[in-house]
Structure 1
């Protein structure tokens, strides 16, 4: 059976959702067995904003997949999510959103069994305003299509399950054949830090170079 590549699924889903329910920025991502978001596909969102989120604010995000295990919620507005976490964390996350002129966020989850398998995050700026109740109803209808699309995602690779999100990001970039300089730019770190990351990753996976790492994890 032919399996649609995950990037194709992400692109089609982002296009459909943002055409029907306009959003200034959006992201499609998969969810691993540790309930961490990974393999992000971005729409209208800068790399700077995305890195800032991953490095400094993800832990304060009330819409993280880990908060919606065994939940019947599939379309989660920001206000509802914030009401379910400590106020100080909500304030920190709101600060992040304000830095990028975001006034509202909605997360749409696709579940496999009792846990989220993938999701789309939709963000709106002050110019667009908050999502209306009618638009939330539209997203609830679209969620069924997301659920069907995610059913075509390739199975998750157990070889990546022992890696941290940062290590997984590096491994996936190495599979694309990026150089150390490109890694440094993507991770927003210096070359010495990239080399340290690589050494630690090689040691953790029991390999000695990039080629062996890619073969071990992906072939």
Structure 2
């Protein structure tokens, strides 16, 4: 059987899940080997909200793939995930959701060899209310369909293929917002060396800035 393009799998899965279990917004994404979400496909979610999440709140998200994996569940409700992280982080993430009128989130994951490979986030507004116990049961049943769809999906390519180990390290630190001084301290090298690495990174990826680099590799 030929592999199905990721975008096609994402579109069908988002349509099916949001029709069967209503949600105001949703996102499908791949999970890389570092347990980072990437290659997002959005459904009824504004670009502003998504950028705000990536730039300012992803680190506080209790439903990140790493956290979901440690829960041992394939359908992870927001409340359960928040109870597993520091209260301060949960409060900051709740503030982010409230800013966009979201009252509840649930994550549905598909695994391969024991690792998350892709997932769907379903978000609900106050008008829809929180996900009910029956809906969570329904999502657990639907997860097998997501699992099957992802099993036939073209594997998401590693965005860092072709980079040297040092360049990969720098790219991952840039995604976290590291400055040149922080990069130099982390790699134990001088600022001129960091600038040389950045020039090489920009050349390899065909970008002209740090922001473009992060967008090209991870978004």
Same fold (TM over 0.5): yes
Change (3 A) 1:209 1:88: closer
1:214 maps to which residue?
none
Structure 1 unmatched runs, 5+: 168-198, 211-216
**What is the aligned counterpart of 1:164 among 162, 167, 172?**
172
Shift of 1:3: 1.4
For the 8 Å contact 1:29–1:118, the answer to whether it is kept is yes
Change (3 A) 1:49 1:159: closer
C-alpha RMSD of matched pairs (Å): 2.4
1:115 and 1:157 mapped to 2: Cα distance? Answer: 16
Change (3 A) 1:137 1:2: same
1:123 maps to which residue?
123
State the TM-score, normalized to the length of structure 2.
Answer: 0.75
Asked if 1:204 corresponds to 2:201, the answer is yes
Which secondary structure does the structure 2 equivalent of 1:164 belong to? helix
For the 8 Å contact 1:70–1:115, the answer to whether it is kept is no
2:96 maps to which residue?
96
Asked if 1:79 corresponds to 2:79, the answer is yes
Which secondary structure does the structure 1 equivalent of 2:140 belong to? helix
Shift of 1:102: 0.3
2:46 maps to which residue?
46
Structure 2 unmatched runs, 5+: 162-167, 176-195, 208-216
1:130 and 1:65 mapped to 2: Cα distance? Answer: 21
Shift of 1:53: 0.2
2:27 and 2:173 mapped to 1: Cα distance? Answer: 17
1:11 and 1:39 mapped to 2: Cα distance? Answer: 13
Shift of 1:78: 0.4
Change (3 A) 1:166 1:105: farther
For the 8 Å contact 1:110–1:118, the answer to whether it is kept is yes
Which secondary structure does the structure 1 equivalent of 2:35 belong to? coil
Where do 4+ consecutive residues of structure 1 move more than 4 Å? 199-202
Change (3 A) 1:69 1:200: same
For the 8 Å contact 1:9–1:150, the answer to whether it is kept is yes
State the TM-score, normalized to the length of structure 1.
Answer: 0.75
1:208 and 1:98 mapped to 2: Cα distance? Answer: 36
1:35 and 1:2 mapped to 2: Cα distance? Answer: 26
For the 8 Å contact 2:68–2:81, the answer to whether it is kept is no
Which secondary structure does the structure 2 equivalent of 1:160 belong to? coil
Asked if 1:112 corresponds to 2:109, the answer is no
